[in-house]
Amino acid sequence: MIWEVFRQDRKGQPFEHAGSLDAPDAEFAEAWAREQYGRRGESVALWLAPRDAVHVVGDWADEFDLKYRRVDGYSIKARLKEARERAAAAGTG
Amino acid sequence: MNELLLLGLADDELILGWRDSEWTGIAPMLEEDVAFSSIAQNEIGHARAVYELLADDADVLAFDRKPEEYRCAPLVELHLLDWGRTIARRCLYEVADEIRITALMEDDDARVAGLAAKINREEAYHRMHAEMWRERLADTPQFRSAVDELWRYALGVLPPKQREALAARLGREQVDAVERGTHDDAFAALHDEMTMVRRSAPAGAQW
Amino acid sequence: MAAVEISRDEQAFLEYVQGGGQVETSDWLPADYRAKLVKFIEMHGNSELMGVLPEREWILRAPTLQRKLALTAKVQDEVGHAQLIYRVVEDLGKSREQCLADLVSGKSKFHNVFHYPTRTWGDVGVIAWLVDAAAIISQKALLKCSYAPYARIMKKICWEESFHILHGRDVILAMVTGTPAQFELVQEALNRWWGPLMQFHGNPIPAEDDPMFLWRIKSQGNEEARQQFLDGYVPQILELGLTVPDPQLRKRDDGVWEYTEPDWAELKSVVTGHGPCTAQRLAFRAHFIDQEQWVRDAVLAA
């Protein structure tokens, strides 16, 4: 049974995927994950999840230009430059 | 401080750690290879801590005695390079060791009691590991016959007054124990190998 | 960042990985790429596992408790690496059981340096210091591997390898500052290991002709790796008063190291299973795989 292992570096940090592990049950998975992902003190906590329990989502359709929802959807730079120039011109005029 | 008892404890941990590290690279699964190696390292770490209570230089106690001066129990010396007997030994040893360490946690000497408590916290993980394996192997003939074979050795880990507790915990009858203080030929070979590099340079050489 | 669409076309895939792109297990992979990945990563896993055996017996002979603990921890790391690496191979479609069967039958290979005997405690130091140094150079170059799951585990592996080099160098330093006999043990070990170390990174074939580079499984050529090794470690060897057993070795004005041509015939013979310890080590490993099959049956057949 494959277990996906997530580890936390320090308290407060996000859990990151660390790798996977083949173990017959949660008890063995815990014992072996403790060793593989924590024996040098590199983790403060682990999450172990059976691979089958992980529901994967890996694609998004964006056919109608929904980029206003993303940070690259705004060309602030050019407009900001223009606004600053206008303000400067108004101030000195 | 009961120095002879502590020396026996430290020698048990040293020699069992040494035996367990023989599994490096060849355990039944790689995951267990890694886990078992940590246990071996912990045992040797415990031995070192106890030697440091007894002498200035732990290495001198660990390496520079004559074979007959080691106080380890015959259980830990046995050369058991098969997994059924290795796990049976671990399971028996962990229970015996728990009885011994828990008693030491009440020792009049605060240094001994404090160290016993520290060792006990690490042993808790070893017990979990042993129990996990016992559950899985309990029904195999390899494991069952190994426990039968090693039972009289396990009794020899403890002084007579603590043996009843061990028998009760494991639900077994007491038999004649294989007592501490004698060593078989396998120990002579182990000692020879353990000290060969160290002996190759004059005493006091640094490694 | 928008996901890059990988076309089901091998050429587009090639261009993608050559441009620095990385792929995941669930992406479409050209059959040749997958086969090369399995072969390369499996050999790495085999090497970690077989790399345990030259050091294993010296765990039992380590001259102080501290050395014993550090060496045990180092070898433990190697087994852990084998575990991580075989997991990656398994997700590519080849089981660990099959990898181990192919290893012990001699069908798959492992690195040249793990076919040689470990004669003294001096060899233990040289292995931990210089063999691991040579290996970390190859492994660091895999941090950029086009196959992302492999690149990711390499971070952990390289981090752990850095402890090994520290341990190895410390073992060597204790001996070169010890008795003359201890110094001599190190020099003799260096003499024995220099040949295999120079062969370690492989023939100096141009990177473009190396299929592992073509698919960006590796990100550097063999000679580049060897030059990096010489540049990093020859000065460190010499400063200890040790002699590198190659009278031709010198660094040219343009920064390139010249050296005696390594024995490529020996490399070929060794990695194809004819090294001095190959048969004995494979038989030893095979014995325990066989002997402990009942344990895996009892535990894994849940």
Read off the pLDDT of each residue in C6-19 and give the average, rounded to a whole number. 86
Is the confidence at residue B117, as pLDDT, over 50?
yes
Is the confidence at residue C3, as pLDDT, over 50?
no
At C7, is the pLDDT very low, low, confident or very high (cuts 50, 70, 90)? Answer: low
Instruction: Look at chain C and report how many structural domains it folds into.
Output: 1
Chain B contacts of A32, Cβ < 8 Å? 31-32, 34-35
Please tell me if residue B118 touches chain C, with a CB cutoff of 8 Å.
Answer: no
* Summary count for chain C: helices (H), strands (E): 14, 2
Residue C64: inside a domain: yes
Mutating which of C25, C48, C87 best tests the A interface, going by the most A Cβ atoms within 10 A? C87
- Mean pLDDT, chain C, whole residue set: 95
Give the pLDDT confidence of C229-282 residue by residue, as tens digits: 999 999 999 999 999 999 999 999 999 999 999 999 999 999 999 999 999 999
Interchain contact, A36 vs C83, CB within 8 Å: yes
A24/chain C closest Cα distance in angstroms: 5
Residue C11: inside a domain: no
Q: Could you tell me which chain C residue has the CA closest to the CA of B143?
A: C295
Domain range for C132 is 24-287
Give the pLDDT confidence of B69-104 residue by residue, as tens digits: 999 999 999 999 999 999 999 999 999 999 999 999
Interchain contact, C72 vs B83, CB within 8 Å: no
Q: Could you tell me which chain B residue has the CA closest to the CA of A23?
A: B31
For chain A, domains (ranges, CATH) are 2-53 (3.10.20.520)
Residue C202: inside a domain: yes
Q: Residue C41: which CATH number?
A: 1.20.1260.10
Interchain contact, C299 vs A36, CB within 8 Å: no
CA torsion angle B145 B151 B152 B158 (round to 10): 160
Is the confidence at residue C75, as pLDDT, over 50?
yes
Q: Could you tell me which chain A residue has the CA closest to the CA of B39?
A: A35
The sign one gets for the Cα dihedral B98, B102, B108, B109 is: positive
For chain B, domains (ranges, CATH) are 3-199 (1.20.1260.10)
Report the alpha-carbon distance of residue B167 to residue B160 in Å, rounded. 11
Count of beta carbons in the 10 Å neighbourhood of residue B145: 13
Tokens of C110: 């492992």
Give the pLDDT confidence of C186-243 residue by residue, as tens digits: 999 999 999 999 999 999 999 889 999 999 999 999 999 999 999 999 999 999 999 9
Report the alpha-carbon distance of residue C146 to residue C218 in Å, rounded. 8
Residue C58: inside a domain: yes
Chain A contacts of C87, Cβ < 8 Å? 19-22
Is the confidence at residue A27, as pLDDT, over 80?
yes
Interchain contact, A21 vs C299, CB within 8 Å: no
The sign one gets for the Cα dihedral B136, B139, B141, B143 is: positive
ipTM above 0.90, yes or no: yes
Residue C292: inside a domain: no
Which pLDDT does position C1 carry in this prediction? 39
Which pLDDT does position A74 carry in this prediction? 82
Interchain contact, A19 vs C87, CB within 8 Å: yes
Residue C208: inside a domain: yes
Residue C297: inside a domain: no
Report the alpha-carbon distance of residue B25 to residue B33 in Å, rounded. 6
Interchain contact, A28 vs B132, CB within 8 Å: yes
Per the listing, tokens 């992979």 go with C29
Interchain contact, C60 vs B202, CB within 8 Å: no
Is the confidence at residue C6, as pLDDT, over 80?
no
Is the confidence at residue C8, as pLDDT, over 90?
no
Residue pair B206/B96 in contact (Cβ under 8 Å)? The answer is: no
Is the confidence at residue B159, as pLDDT, over 80?
yes
Residue C300: inside a domain: no
Chain A contacts of B136, Cβ < 8 Å? 24
Interchain contact, C298 vs B18, CB within 8 Å: no
At C300, is the pLDDT very low, low, confident or very high (cuts 50, 70, 90)? Answer: confident
Please tell me if residue B54 touches chain A, with a CB cutoff of 8 Å.
Answer: no
Which pLDDT does position A58 carry in this prediction? 82
Interchain contact, B32 vs A39, CB within 8 Å: no
Which pLDDT does position A65 carry in this prediction? 77
Mutating which of B197, B198, B199, B200 best tests the C interface, going by the most C Cβ atoms within 10 A? B197
- Mean pLDDT, chain B, whole residue set: 96
Read off the pLDDT of each residue in B154-171 and give the average, rounded to a whole number. 97
Which has the closest alpha carbon to B201: C168, C185, C241, C67?
C185
The sign one gets for the Cα dihedral C191, C197, C199, C203 is: negative
Is the confidence at residue C5, as pLDDT, over 60?
no
Mutating which of A17, A22, A57 best tests the C interface, going by the most C Cβ atoms within 10 A? A22
Which pLDDT does position C2 carry in this prediction? 41
Tokens of B57: 């230089």
